Amino acid sequence: MKIKFLLVTLLISVVGFSQSVNDYKAVIVPLKYDFLRTENQYRLSTMTKSNLLKAGFPAYYTNEDVPAEYGDRCQLLYIDVKKDNGFLVTKLYLEFKDCYGKVIYTSEIGKSKEKEYEVAYKESLDQAFLSVNKLHYKYSGKTITGSSKVTSAVASVPVETVAVATTPVADTSDPNLLYAQPTENGYQLIDKTPKVVMKLLKTSRPDSFIAIKDGVQGTLNAKDNQWYFEFYQNDKLVSEKISVKF
């Protein structure tokens, strides 16, 4: 009876659980957005990071070394700039996502009628950030980890057996280090080129992904503080060590 009461209490707290940008320590800025052709085209990534810093957010590019205090990827937000359709008008808005790809905050749409792309993107991006500035970001001190995302599946498992998954810490000195960029259903891993090397799809576990590399589908799993891409080749299981920075 005591366990059932604890489970009911936990589920109620999960239903009422919501996050704000203040619950996250910093923001990761991608080097490229989906609607652009090249990395930092029109200086959009640079302008995004600059606006974040002005709004009070610690901000880092995906290929940038971050301080150890930001080592847990689930304590960080991942920003994405989206382009909305508009006739003779450039429209941009911002999405702040957590480590699972869940949208935590969406900005208002910024607009520009300028014809030159760099000018139009800057004007519309600055307008979109006006709503972000009004949030008056200040880190709440709340700790969010990979284990904080609880689903109703916990109801079928005794409280004592719920496990906490840990994710490996990236070796930033590894020349083959890949950088994770959030996507709609998971992540894409890019190298320093940048080139997309692998695509990851989320599963119910933060330490395991469905992985696709060079047309080969397998899984990316955390084991012994390392990531391993596992797949079958000629009916034999192959395990390839992968260095990833989330």
User: At 52, which CATH number?
Assistant: 3.40.50
Number of domains forming the structure of the chain: 2
| 68 within domain boundaries | yes
| 213 within domain boundaries | yes
Average the pLDDT over each of 44-48, 69-73, 217-221, 241-245 and give the range with the smallest value. Answer: 69-73
Q: Are residues 116 and 59 in the same domain?
A: yes
Of 111, 133, 155, the last residue of a domain is 133
- CA triplet 190, 193, 195: central angle to 5 degrees? 40
| 147 within domain boundaries | no
For residue 177, the enclosing domain spans 165-245
| 55 within domain boundaries | yes
| 240 within domain boundaries | yes
- The whole-number pLDDT of residue 195 equals 85
| 85 within domain boundaries | yes
- The whole-number pLDDT of residue 155 equals 39
pLDDT at 177 > cutoff 70: yes
Percent of the chain with pLDDT over 90: 49
Q: Are residues 117 and 197 in the same domain?
A: no
pLDDT at 173 > cutoff 60: yes
Q: Are residues 39 and 100 in the same domain?
A: yes
| 98 within domain boundaries | yes
Q: Are residues 27 and 109 in the same domain?
A: yes
The tens digit of pLDDT for each residue in 13-48 reads 333 345 799 999 999 999 899 999 998 999 999 999
> Average pLDDT, whole number, for the chain?
83
Of 133, 156, 182, the last residue of a domain is 133
| 156 within domain boundaries | no
